[in-house]
Amino acid sequence: MPIELISGAIGFILTLLIFSYLIGDNPLFRSAVYIFIGVSSGYAAVVVWHNVLLPKLFRPLATADPNQLVLLVIPLVFSVSLLAKLSPRISWIGSFAMALLVGVGAATALSGAVVGTLLPQSRAAMNAFASPTFLELIEGVVMLAGTVLTLIYFQFSAKRAADGSVKRNVIIEMLAWGGRVFIAITFGVLFAGVYMAALTAMLERLSALINFVKPFLGL
């Protein structure tokens, strides 16, 4: 039996299992989800082994280079300590390594947001006013307004009023409302993009189902 026919049959069956969710959650849909999670986890484990552990840890350990061995002992100890999280009794052993991972991840995400998003967005908003045409001027004003108003929306400093309530300045509150408008527009665009991507994937799967069944129907 050709490999194309086998792979096509597997794809056909799995697609039907996923589409069975249209009639509600059922064992067929859950089976397809479990298969997807299992295959994804297995693929991730193979990638981690071949691209991270083997070339960056185990092979360097076999070189017997004292300087390199010292550098590898630290990540090796942290990695082993994370296995302690599997047992509630000794999970505290891996707390330091887990805290280090979370801290480094948060710092990386924050620096990436600032360097990769905030600064380029601010620079683009300023560059839009460098010898612009009328249309470019309008685009620059909208871009600058969206950047500034969105940042103001996340400004949380407030003063305590005489009645004890905490309120922001009226002007800041009005500008923050404009920031909410831009955020809502952004989320709408993102949702539309996700919806279109999902719709495209669904159409591709339906097309694959039709093309698989056609030869058996003599079409």
Q: Are 81 and 97 in contact, with CB atoms under 8 Å apart?
A: yes
Confidence (pLDDT) at 90: 85
Tokens read off for 153? 């929306």
Taking residues 142-148, report their average pLDDT: 84
Residue 1 pLDDT > 60: no
Confidence (pLDDT) at 165: 66
Residue 39 pLDDT > 70: yes
Strand partners, 92: none
Lowest mean pLDDT among 18-22, 50-54, 161-165, 170-174: 161-165
The pTM is what? 0.60
Averaged confidence pLDDT in the chain: 83
Q: Are 140 and 129 in contact, with CB atoms under 8 Å apart?
A: yes
Please write down the HEC assignment for all residues of the chain.
Answer: CCHHHHHHHHHHHHHHHHHHHHHCCCHHHHHHHHHHHHHHHHHHHHHHHHHHHHHHHHHHHCCCCHHHHHHHHHHHHHHHHHHHHHCCCCHHHHHHHHHHHHHHHHHHHHHHHHHHHHHHHHHHHHHCCCCCCHHHHHHHHHHHHHHHHHHHHCCCCCEECCCCCEECCHHHHHHHHHHHHHHHHHHHHHHHHHHHHHHHHHHHHHHHHHHHHHHHHCC
Q: Are 29 and 17 in contact, with CB atoms under 8 Å apart?
A: yes
Residue 98 pLDDT > 70: yes
Residue 174 pLDDT > 80: yes
pLDDT confidence tier of residue 34, bands split at 50, 70 and 90: very high
Lowest mean pLDDT among 29-38, 67-76, 179-188: 67-76
Q: Which residue has the tokens 């103001």?
A: 152
Q: Which residues contact 92 (CB under 8 A, 6 or more apart)?
A: 84
Taking residues 177-205, report their average pLDDT: 90
Give the domain ranges of the chain: 128-219
